[in-house]
Structure 1
């Protein structure tokens, strides 16, 4: 059965699963789709950002029928444009700390009158000029996903205004950078860090059209966050590999003892 577009599922507050990956890993992107992940999140902030390689990964997502978001390196309109022109379903923009920054990210991702994205149907997103202009514009307006990452002290102070930004689909809490910004690097359970995360959660859940995205390590974590109201539940491919491989390595060492 064909799923509704990712943007529609997020808007409906449907729980969606995502796998965060870094290039090169096109086979993993394809596998995630075949396994039933609702989306893959291709990280070009903390991973390679080669445009040609990115297109191959987006083709892999298309082949497996899964949506693909690209985490761009910064709130740069050109980076957003290139990711979307390459065929991404949407973008994740890091270090959004003010309403103005959130509006800038949304504007870069949407065509006028909703934004300022430049138009070229000759791109992969335009199917190399084979898609009618009206259809492309209509689809882009309805289907493009924009996620802002809240991961700085300033973002915590402004989170209510950020979450109310028009056409911003979700806010993703960045706990590691948030802990750094608070002067508590890696202390994710520190009361100050926990309080900041709680404020982000409360503000995003209070926004009428914005949803909450979180990083989870296990299905149990996902269940708990879903109970708190999170819609986008994101698993890190590296963490999954680390846990699986370390378990195998430890088990094999026991055979050798």
Structure 2
């Protein structure tokens, strides 16, 4: 019997059309993950491509998210079997696999992340994900297939152009939980690089979101402006909203505090 876990909860919410939110996490800090998780965020994405994380950092960050029932997703550095297996075996709730440009890329990510019959993930119960023992070895593959949240990151123009082909993978909604669209890549694809607010970008983004949702998969994307961007992303049907990275939010908080301080001391002539 599979017990209800944080990952089960995230998968179920996505399937029912709920909108969830969480930040990118670049800093290798379990304390920051715990603080974020305590606020009630639905997930964190630990960025192994751009962040300086070691294995020890990653497992501690995953544990910190677990404390408050926050789903710990890992953006692996590349669509590679060892990277994917490593993140899942140490207990990540799920993955965001980057550089998906074709149906073949998507099928490779599924193969690496899922056990038979959905994929060909390397099998070992002697891991954190397996409970450190063979006690539940007969159920291990089934439980992991049911719990693992798998997302694809369409970063390039080619991936966006091949979306229809990717969505044609047999039973894809049983294998993939969300597809993340890079709005900046989409802006370049339609000839308006960097203009993610451009009407043509929004039109294409709306089309992509509808295709993904019609396939029974949750669409995801990034918001840079916490109010306005969140609103129009939700209105278009985006379900996974990724927020500013942890280090940027920390920077902004201190920058705002310092600005207020400077205004006060300048007004009083104390500078």
Q: Structure 1 length normalisation: TM-score?
A: 0.89
| Residue in structure 2 matched with residue 46 of structure 1 by the alignment | 50
2:236 is aligned to 228
Quote how far apart the aligned CAs of 1:199 are: 3.8
Answering whether residue 265 of structure 2 is matched by residue 256 of structure 1, we say yes
Equivalent residue for 1:210, pick from 217, 228, 232: 217
Q: Which moved more, 1:142-151 or 1:46-55?
A: 46-55
Gap change, CA 1:2 and 1:57, over 3 Å in 2: closer
Q: Which residue number in structure 1 is paired with residue 149 of structure 2?
A: 145
Deviations 1:60-103 (A, max 9, x none): 11122211100001111111100000100110011211111111
Distance 2:77 2:189 in 1: 18
Following superposition of structure 1 onto structure 2, how do residues 18-167 of structure 1 map, counting pairs within 5 Å?
18-129=22-133, 131-165=135-169, 166=172, 167=175
How large is the Cα RMSD of the aligned pairs?
A: 2.3
SS of 1:129's equivalent in the other structure is: coil
* Inter-partner Cα distance in structure 1 for 2:71 and 2:243: 15
* Secondary structure, counterpart of 1:56 in structure 2: helix
Query: Number of residues paired by the alignment?
Result: 256
The residue that corresponds to 2:269 in the other structure is none
Runs of at least 5 residues in structure 2 that lack an aligned partner in the other structure = 267-271
Larger radius of gyration: 2
Q: Match of 2:132, SS? A: helix
Matched, 1:242 2:251: yes
Query: What SS is found at the alignment partner of 1:230?
Result: coil
> Which residue of structure 2 aligns with residue 175 of structure 1?
183
**Equivalent pair of 1:17/1:232 in contact (CA under 8 Å):** yes
The answer (yes or no) to whether the contact 2:29–2:57 under 8 Å persists in 1 is no
1:33 Cα deviation from its structure 2 partner: 1.7
Distance 2:259 2:231 in 1: 28
